Amino acid sequence: MKSSQALRIAGTPAPRLDGIEKVTGKAIYTGDIELPGMAFAKILRSPLPHARLIHIDASKAEGLSGVFTILTLNDLAGLNYQYGATYKDQSIVAVEKVRYAGDPVAAVLAVDEATAEEALALIDVEYEELPAVTNIEEAIAPGAPLVHETESVKTELRGSRYGAPEKFKGTNVCYHFGYSRGDAAEGFKKSDYVFEDTFRFPKVQHYSLEPHVSIAHFEQDRLTVLSSCQDPFTLRDHLAEIFNLPLSRVRVIVPYVGGGYGGKLYVKTEPIAAALSWKTRRPVKLALSVGESFKTITRHPARVRIKTGVTREGRLTARECEIYMDTGAYADAGPRVTQKAGYRSLGPYRIPQVKIDAYSVYTNTVPAGAFRGFGAVQVTWAYESQMDLIAERLGMDPLEIRLKNLLKKGEAYTAGDTPVDCDLKEGLLKVAQALKWTRKPSKPYTGKGLSCCVKDAGGTYKIAGATVKMSSDGSATLLTGTVEIGQGSRTALSQVVAEELALDLDQISVAQLDTDVTPYDVSTSASSSMTVMGLSVQRAAQDVKRQLLRAAAKILGERADRLTLKDGKVHARKGQGISYSKVIAGCFGSRAGEIIGKGIYQDKKSKKAVLGSPTTFWEVGWGGAEVEVDPDTGVIRILKYISVADVGKAINPLQCLGQDEGAVLFGLGHTLLEEMVYEEGQLLNPNLIDYRVPTFRHLPEEFSSTLIENGNGPGPFGSKGMGEGGLLPVASAIASAVSNAVGVRFYDLPLTPSKVWRALQSKK
């Protein structure tokens, strides 16, 4: 490995390659694309949270001029119409029941969106309303109405890890993750104190600037889909299965994506677009509104009961954790998120005895799935809030109790998993220092809080391939399955290629992502791209380099291992060096041909690892906040926010800072503002007037983000992935600061002014 000092392009704050295109509005997103003969789709959604479908009559709608077809349950014969990220519990359009207000019942394809919209109103649907469950409590109550009949779910299980044990038959529980170490009950007995607290996390939405959009086109027995998605190869798997096609006959192309945050993983509305094209053989565009994306996928609301035993010196001795994750009407990635929530509820601390149970439960609400922080956001909110409560109850300093219990670098998180790969204290102390840490407020109504969170990152079991093509002039094109969702992957991955091949960034292009030609990649998720895809890209570039050096060695009459690359030339120890184009011309005997390098990355499997595969790296988020609470209004002002991220090596420090700042701002959303509100099974605020997301106005008055670069990540040049860590400590740090400022402790989010004000009132 090159030493950091020797890096030329990796490690520099190169401007984003797609920046100018994007700020000038020239960048092509799926919604910008028009195909000849394209028709437009709209979805008819259930108005009821839970009902049996009695009858659908689409004849009036079909008769409307400009309508090409209507897709209903009557069209699904011959398709494997049930699908899902983990369980096949969702269908292209509703078949027997609708399970949430917003569940797709039918879809119209018409000459334009207005006609399609008009036709929706002409479809008659007869429902038999059923009692609904819209939150965890209702869902797990004995005798609760069932969102899915357990039998049907059970027979659709995927893989043994997601097995639903027998005892949940006839309940709304669709998944259970259990983990234990030692004997928690025994641990509690030996503890000086045992504290038990329950925390709740609200239902929130990703709100990508670009709602879900896809274009599907069946031509003969071949399906092409352009989609704003994060995992085109997984989407291809799902579509191939639904339409009974070999994978080689399904092509997924991904133009620019306007934000994903997990909400564009797996399969969303693409099957509807594809089924309409399958019926009509026309290109079909299905573009959701913001309100419809709110009715497509959300984050899991959670209830986390956490019971922790401590010694009187503040050492953690035992923990029991019971987590319920509300996965909404369909499992989507719920089981995986729940598994991770369970696994991540251990936190960054040394706890000898542990017992964890995490459950996914169905409710009659919008499905919940993957979302930046995947299961960690809910549990970090809980365990870090409880750490403060424990400190308070023991009369200890929140920093002190954390430092006392933090895992050391090299220590096991769980047996068989990758040991902790950084110094957890280092970051926390940086936060404390920047905050001028003290729990003694200098001014009334101000306070400070800090937090340290960790997640196993990189995703469970990743596979990523990449190809680098060097053309006869020495310039290179990168084929990568990582989706540019705004995170800057094109730039950072190009920097890796530029570094390995001693090229300038303007010599490198990134090819359009197209499953037909791009090497396989599982998904753009879990902070994995810099590490997992980064390694694959680096290996592909190194493969080009090897071939280049071998060819140059012949020409120069020198051993390949004595040659180096610099400024687009191969250099022997002496002499001027020869340009890559001359080497390639030498190789092919003319100014033609190219050098193709392949790279692949594959996680290890291990039976010893709790999740079957050791974590790729540990992503750590340290955060600290200073707040001021207005006692008259309940408004929380963020005076200062300090974020520290462990990135191993920042391949592009500018982008890393942007990612970290963005993560914090994201965290401010669910901490202060965001919550999807239900009343009688109806979502009341699926729009940006009633559902507030953070804006520039919500930025902390003083905001700093610091990158720790210890160079020992597993990615290229010692890098680790990042982009989620910064999100994790926000809620607990701010809630801690609020508690410090006004002496009120919150157990649920968001900390809206009215909630804070009411709490202050009831305290008086």
Nearest approach in angstroms of CB 58 to a copy of itself is: 27
3-state helix, strand, coil in the chain (%, to 5): 30, 25, 40
586-615 residues in contact with a copy of itself (CB under 8 A) are 588-594, 596, 598, 602, 605
- What is the dihedral sign for C-alpha 341, 206, 690, 626? positive
Binding mask 217-236 for a copy of itself (x = CB under 8 A): --xxxx----------x---
State how far the Cα of 129 lies from the Cα of 332, in Å rounded to an integer.
24
Residue of 112, 289, 296 lying closest to 210 (CA atoms): 289
Residue 514 within binding range of a copy of itself, rule CB under 8 A:
yes
User: What would the two tokens of residue 343 be?
Assistant: 């696994």
Task: Classify burial at 311, counting beta carbons within 10 Å of its beta carbon; exposed 0-12, middle 13-18, buried 19 or more.
Answer: middle
Do 301 and 323 meet the contact criterion of CB atoms below 8 Å apart?
no
Nearest approach in angstroms of CB 470 to a copy of itself is: 9
State how far the Cα of 273 lies from the Cα of 239, in Å rounded to an integer.
11
Residue 508 within binding range of a copy of itself, rule CB under 8 A:
yes
> Smaller CB distance to a copy of itself: residue 408 or 605?
605
Stretch that binds a copy of itself, among 185-193, 314-322, 503-511, 632-640 (CB under 8 A): 503-511
- Pick from 509, 579, 704, 712 the residue near a copy of itself by CB under 8 A: 509
Stretch that binds a copy of itself, among 244-252, 652-660, 683-691, 730-738 (CB under 8 A): 244-252
- Pick from 246, 561, 576, 607 the residue near a copy of itself by CB under 8 A: 246
Which phi-psi region, left, alpha or beta, contains residue 718 (left: φ > 0; alpha: ψ -120 to 50)?
A: left
Nearest approach in angstroms of CB 20 to a copy of itself is: 6
- Pick from 69, 72, 353, 475 the residue near a copy of itself by CB under 8 A: 475
Residue 113 within binding range of a copy of itself, rule CB under 8 A:
no
Residue 21 within binding range of a copy of itself, rule CB under 8 A:
yes
Residue 479 within binding range of a copy of itself, rule CB under 8 A:
yes
State how far the Cα of 374 lies from the Cα of 352, in Å rounded to an integer.
25
- Pick from 12, 80, 198, 477 the residue near a copy of itself by CB under 8 A: 477
Nearest approach in angstroms of CB 512 to a copy of itself is: 7
> Smaller CB distance to a copy of itself: residue 219 or 702?
219
Task: Classify burial at 37, counting beta carbons within 10 Å of its beta carbon; exposed 0-12, middle 13-18, buried 19 or more.
Answer: exposed
Residue 290 within binding range of a copy of itself, rule CB under 8 A:
no
**Distance from chain centroid for Cα 418:** 21
Residue of 394, 712, 416, 730 lying closest to 405 (CA atoms): 394
Nearest approach in angstroms of CB 284 to a copy of itself is: 15
Nearest approach in angstroms of CB 24 to a copy of itself is: 9
Residue 469 within binding range of a copy of itself, rule CB under 8 A:
yes
The DSSP secondary-structure symbol of 530 reads I
Amino acid (one-letter) located at 505: L
> Smaller CB distance to a copy of itself: residue 308 or 460?
460
Residue 32 within binding range of a copy of itself, rule CB under 8 A:
yes
User: What would the two tokens of residue 459 be?
Assistant: 């995703």
Total number of residues that touch a copy of itself (CB under 8 A)? 56
Rounded to 5 degrees, what angle do the CA atoms 348, 352, 358 make?
Answer: 65
- Pick from 208, 507, 671, 732 the residue near a copy of itself by CB under 8 A: 507
Nearest approach in angstroms of CB 155 to a copy of itself is: 19
Stretch that binds a copy of itself, among 31-39, 438-446, 647-655, 698-706 (CB under 8 A): 31-39
Residue of 726, 716, 710 lying closest to 652 (CA atoms): 716
Do 402 and 365 meet the contact criterion of CB atoms below 8 Å apart?
no
Residue 357 within binding range of a copy of itself, rule CB under 8 A:
no
Stretch that binds a copy of itself, among 88-96, 163-171, 382-390, 585-593 (CB under 8 A): 585-593
Q: 565 CB contacts (<8 Å, ≥6 apart)?
A: 501, 502, 545, 548, 549, 571
Q: Distance between terminal CA atoms of the chain?
A: 62
Most distant pair of Cα atoms in the chain: their distance? 87
Residue of 318, 242, 300 lying closest to 82 (CA atoms): 242
Nearest approach in angstroms of CB 91 to a copy of itself is: 22
Nearest approach in angstroms of CB 509 to a copy of itself is: 4
Residue 496 within binding range of a copy of itself, rule CB under 8 A:
no
State how far the Cα of 114 lies from the Cα of 118, in Å rounded to an integer.
6
248-267 residues in contact with a copy of itself (CB under 8 A) are 248-249, 251
Residue 244 within binding range of a copy of itself, rule CB under 8 A:
no
Nearest approach in angstroms of CB 460 to a copy of itself is: 10
Residue 442 within binding range of a copy of itself, rule CB under 8 A:
no
Residue 631 within binding range of a copy of itself, rule CB under 8 A:
no
> Smaller CB distance to a copy of itself: residue 438 or 590?
590
> Smaller CB distance to a copy of itself: residue 192 or 219?
219
Residue 684 within binding range of a copy of itself, rule CB under 8 A:
no
Nearest approach in angstroms of CB 35 to a copy of itself is: 8
The DSSP secondary-structure symbol of 444 reads T
> Smaller CB distance to a copy of itself: residue 590 or 754?
590
> Smaller CB distance to a copy of itself: residue 94 or 496?
496
State how far the Cα of 570 lies from the Cα of 154, in Å rounded to an integer.
60
Residue 58, SS3 per DSSP? coil
Residue of 111, 128, 109 lying closest to 120 (CA atoms): 109
Residue of 440, 449, 363, 391 lying closest to 622 (CA atoms): 449
Q: Cis link prior to 367 (omega < 30° from 0)?
A: no
- Pick from 25, 36, 78, 557 the residue near a copy of itself by CB under 8 A: 36
Which phi-psi region, left, alpha or beta, contains residue 575 (left: φ > 0; alpha: ψ -120 to 50)?
A: left
State how far the Cα of 437 lies from the Cα of 425, in Å rounded to an integer.
14
- The torsion angles phi and psi of 260, rounded to 5 degrees, stand at -135, -60
**Residues of the shown chain interacting with a copy of itself in the complex, contacts defined by CB under 8 A:** 20-21, 26, 32-34, 36, 219-222, 233, 237, 240, 246-249, 251, 461, 463, 465, 467, 469, 471-477, 479, 506-509, 511-512, 514, 516-520, 522, 588-594, 596, 598, 602, 605
